[in-house]
Structures are given as C-alpha cells and as structure tokens.
Structure 1
Amino acid sequence: MTTFVVIVYIIVYLSMLLGGIPGLRVDRTGAALLGAIALLAVGNISEQNALASIDVPTLALLFGLMVVSAQFQLGGFYGIATKRVVAQDMSPPALLAVVISLTGAFSALLTNDVVCLAVAPLLSHLCIEKKLNPVPYLLALACAANIGSATTLIGNPQNILIGEALKVPFNGYLLIALPPCLLGLLIVWGIIVSLYRGKWHFETEASLENTEIEFDRWQTFKGILVLTLLIACFIFTAWPRELLALGAAGILMLSRKFHSRKIMGLVDWSLLVLFISLFIVNKAFQLTGGMDWLVAQTKSAGIPLDQPAPLFISTVILGNLVSNVPAIMLLLPIVKGSDVGPLLALSSSLAGNLIIVGSVANIIVVESARQAGIKIDFKTHARVGIPVTLVTLSVTGAWLWLVSLFS
C-alpha cells in the first residue's frame, strides 16, 4: 500500500470522528475535500479513476430529492402542518403521538434533515406559546425523523447511497423496513411518555420570533402532486430512480413563484461535496489494496463482516463514531449483494438516535433548540436516545433474523 494514501485515509476518517480537523475551522466535508485534493495533487489517484469513482446516480438522486424537499419548505407546508397540529386541543401524550407520526411520515419521503430543519424552530415557538415543555417534543422530532427516514430508500442520504450502490429494490426494502420502523415510532412515544410524565408543562415569559414561512396553497399542491407521482413511479416502474428524481426536480424548478437561486440555496451542497470527496478517498485506498487488508484484519480479529450479526453491530458502532454517511462509505466496498442493503440501512439509521452527534438530524434539532434558549444537552438527549436506540435495534435485529429464515 502507498504510505501517503494510508495516511490521508486515516486522517480523513479520524476527522469524521472528531467532527473536523482539530485546531482548524475545517469540518468533516472540508477534511474529506482536502484529502481528495491531496491524493489528486500527489498523483496517488488519476483524474480518470477519481471521476470513475464518483457514483453519479447516487448524487443525482440525492440532488433531485433535495429540490423536491425545498419545494415543500418554500411553500410553507411544514409550517402550516406543524401549526395546525399543535393548535389542536388534545392531551400532551396525544399531541406527542401526532408529532411522532407526522415526523416519521414526512421523513420517509422528504429526508429527515430537511424535516428537522424546517419543523424544529416552529415547534419550539408553538410549544412555548402554549406553555408546553418543548424538550420532549423536540426529542421526539429527532428520534422520529431518524426512524421514519429508515422506512424508505429515500429517507436519508445513507439510504440513498445504499439503495443505489447495492441496487436494492425500492418495494422490497419498504416491505422489510416498514414493520420495525412503525414499531420503532411507537417505542419512541412510549419511552418519552414514561420519562416526561408530569413534566409536560413549561412556564416562561419568553417570546420567540415566529419563523414560519407564509403558506402557499398552490406551490404545496404542486409539490404533493410531483412527490406522489415520483413515489408511484418508484413503486410501480423499473425506471432509474435518479432520472425520475431529476425529472421531478426539473418540473418543480419551472416556477413563476420561486426563483431557481432560492431553490438552489436549500440544496445541501456541503453534503454532495462530502459524498464526492469520500468516493475519491475510498477509491484511492481501495486501489492500493487497503480494503482487502481491512477485510483480512477484521476477519483475523474475529469480526467477519460478511456475516449479518457482526456487520449489524459494526455499522451501529461506526455510525456513531464517524457519522452515518462516512460509516456507510467505509463499509460499502467491503460488503456484497443487495441482500445486505436492509441491514445496513436500518442499522445505520436507527443507530443515529444513540447520541447527539449520531445523526445530522439530532444536531439540527439541538442547535435549533439552543437558538431558542432551550437546553438539550448530552445527558438530556441520552436519557431518551439510548433506550430508544437499544430497543429499536433489538426489535429490528430480531425482525431481520426472522425475515432471513423465510427468505
């Protein structure tokens, strides 16, 4: 193996673990990009191999779905849905159930990060306005977003990557993932209700700024129509998912209301750059024989990643060490076949609830709460996140074992 490639590879994934390069204002995306640039500049990977390593269908599908999500955000859909739910006269546990259900459904179709980004500020505002303790509802938002996103192959970036890289059928995955995810949402409700019994109300004189975007009925209807057609095509046709998503994005960008610059501003370009950079870094490492060496080392250590149980546990651990997307990028060159797709997608998504840095959705919710003056620290999140993760992963592991017996 080329020493420089190995050093860059270690530094990049160490940066994924630390959240960036210590001492510098360089985040995970910046570290991955610098790693890819270094490998190209030194010549450890050719331009041709670097370009060939980039999974264009995955990036196209991710980009298209980001534009679809932007349509709902700009149309004020998340805001009006949250406002109408919280405005209902119902008990706190009943309201929690509705928040969890809607968050899970939205996250399955519109990606969990976008849902949390749009809903968290308004949910905080509405809870304080109604003298409700916002913490259990915000924790429910984060947990339900991670679990709901695991339901489909378009619910989060790592699922999109897994679906495209391993050619996992959309319908086949949905049938496997739906039961444990529905049960997972119920588990979230049960754990939060038991922990926050008698702590639902919140007395404060604070008045938060309303960040709700004005609701546009036509633009929301347009988004719903395009998304419905897109999901129908995913389910009932064998057309390439990435082309369908790009087509949906193109239709939504033909707008007299929303400037294309505004839509593009809601696309997570940083995430797309992270994908591209890690594709190049991983390919360079693979070309040096690094992946083969890693597989041999894990086997000699008694961790056969070609077996379901070790792979399930390794995905959970890696997801919380280096974050979901880098963990999946690390594992995909090692695993083979579409059969492991559900295992990777479910374990990586559900593991995101364990600690705050386990998923971007958690970080978004916690940061939004901080800006609103609501404290959700590591301990507060862990009281919910750890039991939710352990129980949902146990249920999912048992379910996948049952499915394997009858497949």
Structure 2
Amino acid sequence: MTSQTSTTHTWLDRLKHEWLLLLFTALTVLLAFVDPQPWARYQRWLQVPTLCGLLGLMIAIQGIRDSGLVQRLAGMLVARMHSLRGVGLVLVSMTAVLSMVLTNDVSLFLVVPLTVAIGGMSNLPILRLAVLEALAVNAGSTLSPIGNPQNLLIWQHAQIPFLQFVGSLLPASAVMFVMVAVLTWFWLPKERVELQADKLDGHPISVSLAVLSLVALAMMVLMMERGYAPLGALLLVIPFASFSWRTLRCIDGWLMATFAAIFLGLGHFAALPIVGHALGKIDFTQPLALYLGGIVSSQLISNVPATVLLLDRSPDAMALAVAVNVGGFGVVIGSLANLIALRLAKQPHGMRLFHEVSIPFLLVCAAVVYVVMRLLA
C-alpha cells in the first residue's frame, strides 16, 4: 500500500510539470462538452498514424542512445572541434540539412541526442543548442516538399514539380537559415571546447543494439513515408520487448500523451464554425493578409492544422507555404518539432528560454522574409 501511495504521488508530481498536457486536455474536454462531435471525427483529429510514427522514432533513437553509439560519435566530433561556436554551427547546419531529406522530426531525433551527449562531456550549452536546433530544423525543412507535413500537404495540393517547389521556397529558407546561423554565432560563447576526459571514452558500444536500432530507424522512416506507421511501430515493439526491454521503459509516454491532447484539442478548435466564419471575412487574395493569416493561425493552432484550414482558402499555395513555415517560429506549438526538441534535450527552464528567443526571432524573421519575397515577386 505504501508503495502504491508513493507511485501515485510520483505520478501526480510529474503531472504538475506537464502544463501543456493539462492545458490541451482541458481544451479537449471543454470543446467536447460545448460542441460534441461524432466519434469518427475525434479519431481523425487524433492522427493515430502520426502518433505511431512518433512512437517508432522514439523507440529507435532511444535504442541508439542505449547502445552507446551516440556517445561515441559525440566524442569523435567534439575531439576534432576547437570552439563552442564551431561545434554549434556544425550541429545547427547538420540539423537543417537532415531536415530537408529526413523530415524535421527525424532530424531532431538524430541531432538533439548527439547534442546532449556532447554537452555531457564538454562545456557545450545544451539548452541553447536545443533551441537553435529547433529553429534550424524549421528553416531547413522549409526548403523541401518532404521536409515537414505542411510542405507535403501543399506540394500534393499544388501539383507542381519538386524542383519548382524548392525554387519557390529557396529565398525564404535561405533567409531563415542565415538568421539562425547568425544567432548561433553571436549567442554561443566564444570559449574553446573543454573536454571532460573521464567521460570521453567511458561509453562502450553494444554493437547488436546499435545495429538493431539503426535498422529500426531506417525501417520506421520508410514505413512512415509509405503510410504504414502503425505497422512499423508494432514491428519495432516486438524485437525491442524481446532484446532490450529497458529501451521501451525509457520512452517518454508523457510526450506521447501531450501530442495526443494537442491533436485532439487543436483539431476540434480548428473545426469550430466560429473559426471558419472568422476566416471567411479575411481577403486572402491580399498577399499581406495571407502571410499574416498563415503566421497568426500557426501560433494559435500549429502550422500543420493551419495549413489544412487555409489551403482551400488560399489563391497562392506557395505563398501559404512561406507563411506557415515562418509561423513555425514563435510559440512552442507553432511547430510541434519545437516541442520534440525541448523534450529530447530534457533541460530545466527550456520552455521559458525557447520563448525568450523564438518570439523575437519570429517578429524579425517574418518582416525580413516578407520584404525579400515581395522584392522577388
């Protein structure tokens, strides 16, 4: 009985810190009472394939962590770099480039654990890098039609060639990345990298777990691309339950619950008649109205639901793509990749620092990108 009481208290103490989960759970319950909907709509809003994809990625990356491979790669990288700014620029650039090919969330699942490992053996400021990587993944994924979900939706809707899409988003993505790189250079300390030698070589690699995890990651990405994320996640759970139960126990179930609550709450909110009525009063044929509409709606309901909401109302799909990608900056739900970066970093006061940097960054970036895009129009 004492053990059960202790477990309950631990669970409740943890729940107190999950304010996003509590907020969106309350929103979901409130909307369910105010505007009840058929169960089928809640199932659609829950986005089970996306949640399964997230679970599969978390399992594979946790396995890579547990194998010691990330720590070994971190040691190799930091041993060859001399300045914190140099390490920071390499990690930020790596995040942006990977997001163009492997999507924004996969990129973060690969680079943020590497950043945490480097920070554990050196004086690298982990939280600052995690914030910068969240910004970088938004800038990098903007360029590619497959870099993030909103781009994929717009690309399929617009039915334009791959390279034409890239060319249309190149100016915005370039501006965004240059601004992230400049912020990285000036925000990170000038200091040299200081290695903690006792931690540099203390991470033996489990070859079998590393191979299993890398294969699992590749398989999960392929399954997600082909629309079989639930099957992919199931196929990962079975071998890890058999060979590395510890890996499954380390999965962040709170993050999964938070995403489920966000999907339900924001999906229902975006479908409210009052929201559709308000959007109907906006003239999206005006470039500035479309641009601000995409950014503001992304801040309120995240950029993927904002894209779904505005896609049929927008006369210019590529202008909408610029707006919702810029809208990924700002508040943490502007892009759910922001939340992934902060949860992977597991640093105190992460949410506060993120908003102290990301909101001003959005205000400056939005103005600069708009001016550049209008000059090139």
Question: TM-score scaled to structure 2, two decimals?
Answer: 0.66
* Structure with the higher helix share, 1 or 2: 2
Give CA-to-partner distance per residue, 1:156-202, whole Å, 9 cap, x none.
56667x45995877946556446643553333122321344635668
> How do 1:218-233 residues align onto structure 2 when only pairs under 5 Å count?
218-223=211-216, 225-226=218-219, 229=222
Alpha-carbon distance between aligned partners in 2 of 1:67 and 1:117, rounded to the nearest angstrom:
11
> How do 1:311-330 residues align onto structure 2 when only pairs under 5 Å count?
311-320=290-299, 322=300, 324=302, 328-329=304-305
Alpha-carbon distance between aligned partners in 1 of 2:90 and 2:45, rounded to the nearest angstrom:
37
Structure 1 residues 129 and 392, CA gap change in structure 2 (3 angstroms) = same
**Counterpart position of 1:274:** 262
Could you tell me how far 1:274 is from its partner in structure 2?
2.9
Structure 1 residues 377 and 332, CA gap change in structure 2 (3 angstroms) = closer
Find out whether 1:148 has 2:140 as its counterpart.
yes
- For 1:130, which of 119, 122, 129 is the aligned residue? 122
Give the RMSD, CA atoms, in angstroms: 5.0
> How do 1:245-324 residues align onto structure 2 when only pairs under 5 Å count?
245-246=229-230, 248-253=232-237, 255=239, 256-258=242-244, 262=248, 265-266=251-252, 268-283=256-271, 285-286=272-273, 290-296=274-280, 299=281, 303-320=282-299, 322=300, 324=302
> How do 1:68-87 residues align onto structure 2 when only pairs under 5 Å count?
68-76=57-65, 80-87=72-79
- Give 2:25's aligned amino acid: G
**Counterpart position of 1:19:** none
**Counterpart position of 1:15:** none
Could you tell me how far 1:79 is from its partner in structure 2?
5.0
Could you tell me how far 1:105 is from its partner in structure 2?
3.6
Structure 1 residues 140 and 87, CA gap change in structure 2 (3 angstroms) = farther
**Counterpart position of 1:63:** 52
- Which segment is superposed worse, 265-274 or 164-173? 164-173
Give CA-to-partner distance per residue, 1:232-267, whole Å, 9 cap, x none.
xx5xxxxxx534x44544554452535699299457
**Counterpart position of 1:237:** none
CA contact (8 A) 2:143 2:169 kept: yes
> How do 1:195-214 residues align onto structure 2 when only pairs under 5 Å count?
195-196=187-188, 198=190
Could you tell me how far 1:123 is from its partner in structure 2?
2.8
CA contact (8 A) 1:112 1:361 kept: yes
**Counterpart position of 2:89:** 97
Structure 1 residues 83 and 147, CA gap change in structure 2 (3 angstroms) = farther
- For 2:329, which of 341, 353, 358 is the aligned residue? 353
Find out whether 1:185 has 2:177 as its counterpart.
yes
Could you tell me how far 1:394 is from its partner in structure 2?
4.9
> How do 1:8-19 residues align onto structure 2 when only pairs under 5 Å count?
none
- Which segment is superposed worse, 126-135 or 85-94? 126-135
- Give 2:177's aligned amino acid: L
Could you tell me how far 1:319 is from its partner in structure 2?
3.1
CA contact (8 A) 1:86 1:127 kept: no
CA contact (8 A) 1:93 1:193 kept: yes
**Counterpart position of 1:11:** none
Could you tell me how far 1:295 is from its partner in structure 2?
3.0
**Counterpart position of 1:16:** none
Could you tell me how far 1:343 is from its partner in structure 2?
4.2
Helix, strand or coil at the partner of 2:227: helix
CA contact (8 A) 1:68 1:252 kept: no
Alpha-carbon distance between aligned partners in 1 of 2:264 and 2:48, rounded to the nearest angstrom:
8
Find out whether 1:28 has 2:17 as its counterpart.
no
CA contact (8 A) 1:127 1:134 kept: yes
Alpha-carbon distance between aligned partners in 2 of 1:100 and 1:166, rounded to the nearest angstrom:
31
Give CA-to-partner distance per residue, 1:189-221, whole Å, 9 cap, x none.
2232134463566899xx9xx999967331243
Could you tell me how far 1:324 is from its partner in structure 2?
1.8
Could you tell me how far 1:336 is from its partner in structure 2?
0.5
Alpha-carbon distance between aligned partners in 1 of 2:301 and 2:75, rounded to the nearest angstrom:
32
Give CA-to-partner distance per residue, 1:20-65, whole Å, 9 cap, x none.
xxxx9962320232034314xxxx5452xx5147547954245335
Helix, strand or coil at the partner of 2:312: coil
**Counterpart position of 1:14:** none
- Give 1:324's aligned amino acid: S
Structure 1 residues 223 and 129, CA gap change in structure 2 (3 angstroms) = same
CA contact (8 A) 1:75 1:213 kept: no
**Counterpart position of 1:389:** 362
Structure 1 residues 225 and 394, CA gap change in structure 2 (3 angstroms) = same
Helix, strand or coil at the partner of 2:327: helix
Could you tell me how far 1:97 is from its partner in structure 2?
2.0
Number of residue pairs matched by the alignment: 351
**Counterpart position of 2:16:** none
Structure 2 residues without counterparts, runs of 5 or longer: 1-18
Alpha-carbon distance between aligned partners in 1 of 2:268 and 2:309, rounded to the nearest angstrom:
12
Could you tell me how far 1:66 is from its partner in structure 2?
4.2
Alpha-carbon distance between aligned partners in 2 of 1:362 and 1:201, rounded to the nearest angstrom:
26
